[in-house]
Amino acid sequence: MKNHYFYLALAVFFASHCGQQGGQRFVRSDLRHILRITDGAASAATTIWSGHGMSLTANEQNQEPNEFKRWAQDRKLVIVNLPESGALSNSLAASESTLAYAPPSAVDAGFALIEILNQEQETKLAEAAHAGAHGCGMLQRLRLLDNYAPPSSFIAPVFIESVKRQAVADFVAVNVTTVKSSLQASIQALEGLGTRFHTTASGLNAPVAIKGMFEAAAASRISGLSVRLIPHAGSSQNSVIVTIPGRDDPQASGPVVIIGAHLDSINSGGEQSPAPGADDDASGIATLIEIVRRIAASGAQFQRTIELHAYGAEEVGLIGSSEIAESYQKAQRQVVAMMQYDMDAWASDPASDTIYLVTNATRAVLRRSLKTLINSYMGGNVVEGTLKAGQSDHVSWTASGFNAVFPFENPINYNLALHSTRDTTETLNNLNLSVRFVQSGLVLLAHHAGLTSAESGYETDLKAMRSSLAKDLFLAVNNGSKSDQYNLFVAGGSAIKTIELCETHQAGTMTCFKESLGSNSGTTKAARTIFNIGKDIIIRNGIHLSVFGYDANERLVAQRSVRLDKK
């Protein structure tokens, strides 16, 4: 009944809005269905949006893509992730007001594009989305490709080689009993704030309380620390950003390592229904607070700037993280790595110590790096898995061209108490796992932000190495099994141990919009290493590719942007 009402409400909202705001209204017939990039070659001229391995293009027979983009500038358009068939996907598929629709399959999620016309509609959509599949991050604001300039420089997740292993081991070694108690207290305090839905009074007050919790954890023992409330255009709920300036970056304007979580909560039963949100995502915020507490207690300092983000309005379209990530992209901030915490205190097996690294909308190079660090310093199980039921704020950073990773409690057997009154501290069953999430953040910061002992001049030396090696980075293509298939090879200097290659929107940009291909198994010939990237790959004419070369310590030492044209 709830989804049926939601469908009727949408129809009324859309019907009453037709013809308003000036200009022609687009309907579904004006757009192609969302197409998977691997299924069709959309020209750059008609591409409106791409993400999650899919592309949305204008129908050249009916509309010019630029006309749609002009029409969309002042409207709130939302991509709805549809992990499975059901009442919500059926309603959106049947509505002529749905601008574009791709049905979910047994293997892949589907998507729908709709316009948000007012707050009531947005709330009902969020409730229906969470009721249908319990999926976080099912709503994502549409971002038009040419609204955002790519970062001028690409900083890969790198090991800072001068960090001493024993110093990192000491930093990561925490008192498990103490940290568990502290995590539980923080989660209970967040639950005690009441429903944190972004339009409720308690939800609007939550960021101020969380700001105070960060400040209390720092206890005035972290030099230069600041905690700011960040307002948003798309929601009245603020985000919170904790900034710890790097030793070599006192103005906190240089390369930055970001760890985030979302501060809002939702109950699929309605805006006014209690939403304690203990696992989703008080557990993530508590993890951030504990990281601040550990930095303060240890006196640790870092070469690079660190930011901890508590995002507002995640449950209704990743609003907080999307606006912040877009602003960093426009400002050409150098984001070394971004890691998201969203649900880390429950497991189907309460004794499990497994951390899952979500593969969708994350970068393979950062997953590989984090996995290496966890294995090196923490042990236990760390595996990769695909999250079909939803997403989280890391998607906003991936969409902005930055490296993101998402460690999660379990992408398949996740906590079914979420988005209900049952998501309380009492139902959390694995705070030992939460401690491991805290440690994963500490070890990421230690190596990617540079714990205390990074050499001065590191960036200068690395830049010189990149410049030298990039001159010796070449891409070779030969014919594959069929006329439209090709084999790809990359050759580089002997210092290069891993190659990654990805598709970009234009020459010169390092902003990947598709999961990278790669190889860490090369053949050495005459002081050069040749990597076989893939066989029988379908390549479009005029495709833009970026090639990245990494050394044995996962440092980005060479990069090159190329365009392939068929002759």
**Cα–Cα distance measured from residue 279 to residue 287, given in angstroms and rounded to the nearest whole number:** 11
Nearest Cα to 287, choosing from 217, 361, 354, 195? 217
169 φψ region: left (φ > 0), alpha (ψ -120 to 50), beta (else): alpha
- What is residue 20's predicted lDDT score, i.e. its pLDDT? 40
At 107 the pLDDT is 65
Q: Calculate the dihedral angle through the C-alpha atoms of 84, 85, 89, 94, rounding to the nearest 10 degrees.
A: 160
Task: Give the C-alpha separation, 108 to 104, whole Å.
Answer: 6
Q: Assign 357 to helix, strand or coil.
A: strand
Angle between helices 201-218 and 283-298 (to 10 degrees): 20
Residue 221: CB atoms within 10 A of its CB come to 14
Residues sharing a CB contact under 8 Å with residue 315, sequence separation 6 or more, in sequence order: 126, 130, 136, 197, 198, 262, 264, 265, 266
- β-sheet with 474-479: strand ranges across: 474-479, 485-493, 528-538, 522-525
Name the nearest CA neighbour of 434 among 185, 205, 232, 197.
185
Q: What angle do CA 285, 355, 130 make, to 5 degrees?
A: 55
CB 436 within 8 A of CB 355: yes
Determine the 3-state secondary structure of 8 from DSSP: helix
> To which H or E segment does residue 503 belong?
strand 498-504
- Which domains does the chain possess? 2-133 (no CATH), 165-359+386-450 (3.40.630.10), 459-564 (2.60.40)
- Would you state the pLDDT for residue 467? 52
The CA-atom distances, in angstroms, between 59 and each of 63, 67, 110 are 6, 11, 19
CB atoms within 10 A of CB 77: 20
* Angle between helices 2-17 and 87-94 in degrees, nearest 10: 30
Q: What is the pLDDT along the chain (567 residues), one digit of tens a residue?
A: 223 233 333 333 333 333 344 445 566 666 666 655 444 444 555 667 765 556 677 665 555 666 777 777 777 788 887 777 777 778 888 776 688 887 877 666 778 888 877 777 777 777 777 665 455 657 777 766 544 334 434 444 444 555 778 888 899 999 999 999 999 999 999 999 999 999 999 999 999 999 999 999 999 999 999 999 999 998 999 999 999 999 989 999 998 999 999 999 999 887 778 999 999 999 999 999 999 999 999 999 998 999 999 999 999 889 999 999 999 988 989 898 999 999 999 999 999 999 999 988 888 778 888 988 898 899 889 999 988 767 899 989 988 888 899 999 998 888 889 889 999 999 999 999 999 999 999 999 998 998 874 333 344 444 554 455 556 678 888 887 777 778 888 888 888 888 887 777 665 555 555 556 777 777 877 777 888 887 777 777 778 887 888 777 666 777 787 887 776
The span from the CA of 335 to the CA of 510, in Å, is 13
The alpha-carbon radius of gyration of the chain (Å, integer) is 23
Alpha carbons 43 and 307: distance in angstroms, whole number: 38
Burial of 5 (0-12, 13-18, 19+ CB in 10 A): exposed
Cα 140 to Cα 54: distance, rounded to the nearest angstrom: 14
Cβ atoms < 10 Å from Cβ of 453: 14
Query: In this structure, what token pair is assigned to residue 218?
Result: 């720092």
DSSP-H helix ranges across 415-557: 431-445, 458-470
pTM value? 0.74
